Structure 1
Amino acid sequence: MRLAVFTKNLTNPAYGAARLGAERAAAVFGAEVLHFVPQKGDDPEAQSALIDEALALTPRPDAFVLSPVHASKVDPAIRRIAAAGIPMIGFVNPIQAAPSVAYVSSDDYQLALAIAQYLFRHLHGRGQVLVVTGPDESFTSLERLRGFREAALQYPGITIAGVIAGDYVRETARDRAVQWLCDHAELDACLVANDIMAMGVLDALDAAGRRAAVVGVNAIPQAVEAIGQGRMLATADFNAMQMAYLATECAVRHLRGETVPASIELPVQIVDRSNCQQWDRPYAQRPVITLEELRRQT
């Protein structure tokens, strides 16, 4: 069986890990994976064109494993998948325009709430904090920003000193953080919506000769290394590799006629210097669990 796997971009290491997760599951469960990735990251038009490209293949893929790049702008293309009678399994972001067999993700709001609370406790409830978000209309970014703001409400001594959009790109986050630092003298911490942007924020702090506590989301290898070195405080593990693995497994099992869970939500895990050794390895060497193993854990 052939599976069309759609990830959002080529720049975020988390999506490289997702593609690897799909391949690892396909190797175990006897499937072939075809990857479709927009050359321009998080581009709804490009992803829609790739969906049409996959639908035009002969033979067509047996299932689509899909992370939509936008909450609504890919909907017409998603409805074309449904019209073709091809089952869809969503991961990272939900598929809302048509029914999906299953959806695998983590709760972005809870992840953001947990990492923000961790940071604010580290600051003893007081400090000036810069928030770095993803793209303005990104589902994950909006949910993470909501979690950040909710956590800040719980700590009256925390001031959100600024909010900048890093667009989930290291260079964008770096450049905008450099400008923000030029305009603001006081900063205690940076609350960043993903790790690749956190790397850009660390670049900006280094260039300015300034220090601040930095936390992110994703647990990418670069962030884990920075945590081990003491350059970054912590991250929340948004395990896109595991999500894609389980989504691919769900696709295969559904095609075999087996019942799969309609929704799978991975737990929140905070990674800091006390436990980062568990994550301090390349993605290919990080463990993944199957549906059966997940069932035994819950």
Structure 2
Amino acid sequence: MPDLSKKDVCKVGFAQAANDTPWRIAQTASMRDEAARVGCRFVCTDAHGSAAQQVLDVNSMIAQGVDLIFLSPVEGTALVPAVRAAKDGGVPVVLLDRKPDSSLATAGGDYLTFVGSDFVEQGRRLAEWLVRNAHGKTRIIEIEGAAGAAPAAGRKQGFDEALTAAGGFKILASQSGDCVRDKGRQVAETLLRAHPDASVVYAHHEEMALGAVTALDAAGRTPGRDVIVLSVGGGREILRAVADGRVNAVVECNPRSGPLAFETLHRYANGEQLGPWMKHVDAFFDTSSAAAGISRAY
């Protein structure tokens, strides 16, 4: 591993999965801004949603002689060969946002650490809000994120476990909406037709939640009032919907990785022992707090 403490200027790479959503754009901007603030040379790539391209991007960074790679994977498991290639090339990797199964690659072994949110906790926080505020609305449609992805699995696990512990709630149906607005709308339409008694929609991603709001409108049901809508995100559009009462609660998935990522770099350069997880702090918004958060949202 390179001795970063002896370098006047570090050269770091950021292999971004894609810059195709406000969340990803905010993450890239945060990384770029923090690199400039701390005086690092910054190499950034955009894989345009292709895991194969992201592997090539990482290999290019290794060839360019970067001192450390921040990697925000398209999909955790597919990037394991790139993580191992970096390790073999003596370039440490910090994973952002998602990570592979620990049976395939481990923090402290194959990569330094993971910087990101607690997806299980995100689902749990929304479930706990629902338990406190359901007022008899207990029949749930769940629109999941991308099948097999860590965020989807965690958000489902936390939500389902908390409701099971509380008792009295029933998930009528659960289906993937691939974190896409129109797919979320289509899934919501299908599930609402199959379960007209549904009184809660839980979408794992804000884009799907906004699609579900459209589906509820089309079905003649008032989102936020007739049907509780819960989601994960924190962008301006969803916060406006919360402030307007059309979405009831949103737990943030913080995209501003830069400060914590470069704090990790600093600690590593100083020889500090890193734990396996540098956890993001995620805000929580409901109708009492969303309006105040809009100006700071991505």
Length-normalised TM-score, structure 2: 0.84
Corresponding residue to 1:238 among 247, 250, 253: 253
**Percent identity of equivalent pairs:** 24
Which residue is equivalent to 1:289?
none
The AA in structure 1 aligned to 2:290 is C
Which residue is equivalent to 2:265?
251
Which residue is equivalent to 2:37?
28
Report how far residue 253 of structure 1 moved.
5.3
Q: Distance in 1 between matches of 2:146 and 2:166?
A: 26
SS of 2:94's equivalent in the other structure is strand
The AA in structure 1 aligned to 2:295 is R
Q: Distance in 2 between matches of 1:133 and 1:126?
A: 20
1:159-180 Cα offsets, whole Å, 9 max, x none, are 1011110111222212222222
Which residue is equivalent to 2:212?
201
Which residue is equivalent to 1:216?
231
Which residue is equivalent to 2:290?
276
Q: Distance in 2 between matches of 1:272 and 1:26?
A: 33
Which residue is equivalent to 2:61?
54
Report how far residue 125 of structure 1 moved.
5.6
SS of 2:78's equivalent in the other structure is coil
Which residue is equivalent to 1:82?
87
Report how far residue 120 of structure 1 moved.
3.1
Alpha carbons 2:143, 2:202 under 8 Å: kept: yes
The AA in structure 1 aligned to 2:57 is L
Alpha carbons 2:62, 2:91 under 8 Å: kept: no
Which residue is equivalent to 2:5?
none
The AA in structure 1 aligned to 2:89 is A
Which residue is equivalent to 2:15?
6
Alpha carbons 1:3, 1:64 under 8 Å: kept: yes
Corresponding residue to 1:229 among 232, 237, 244: 244
The AA in structure 1 aligned to 2:202 is L
The AA in structure 2 aligned to 1:15 is R
Counterparts of 1:164-203 in structure 2, within 5 Å, are 164-203=175-214
1:169-209 Cα offsets, whole Å, 9 max, x none, are 22221222222223332221111112122112112222322
Alpha carbons 2:117, 2:281 under 8 Å: kept: yes
Alpha carbons 1:120, 1:126 under 8 Å: kept: no
Alpha carbons 1:112, 1:145 under 8 Å: kept: yes
The AA in structure 2 aligned to 1:90 is L
Corresponding residue to 1:161 among 158, 172, 190: 172
Counterparts of 1:122-133 in structure 2, within 5 Å, are 122-124=133-135, 126-133=137-144
1:264 equivalent to 2:285? Answer no
Alpha carbons 2:241, 2:247 under 8 Å: kept: yes
Number of residue pairs aligned between Structure 1 and Structure 2: 278
SS of 2:77's equivalent in the other structure is coil
SS of 2:166's equivalent in the other structure is coil
- Greater relative contact order (Cα 8 A, min sep 6): structure 1 or 2? 1
1:43-90 Cα offsets, whole Å, 9 max, x none, are 43232232223334xx33221111223332221111001111111112
Report how far residue 154 of structure 1 moved.
2.4
Which residue is equivalent to 2:4?
none
SS of 1:239's equivalent in the other structure is coil
Q: Distance in 1 between matches of 2:264 and 2:181?
A: 32
The AA in structure 2 aligned to 1:86 is V
Which residue is equivalent to 2:6?
none
Which runs of no fewer than 5 residues in structure 2 stay unpaired? Answer: 1-9
1:71 equivalent to 2:81? Answer no
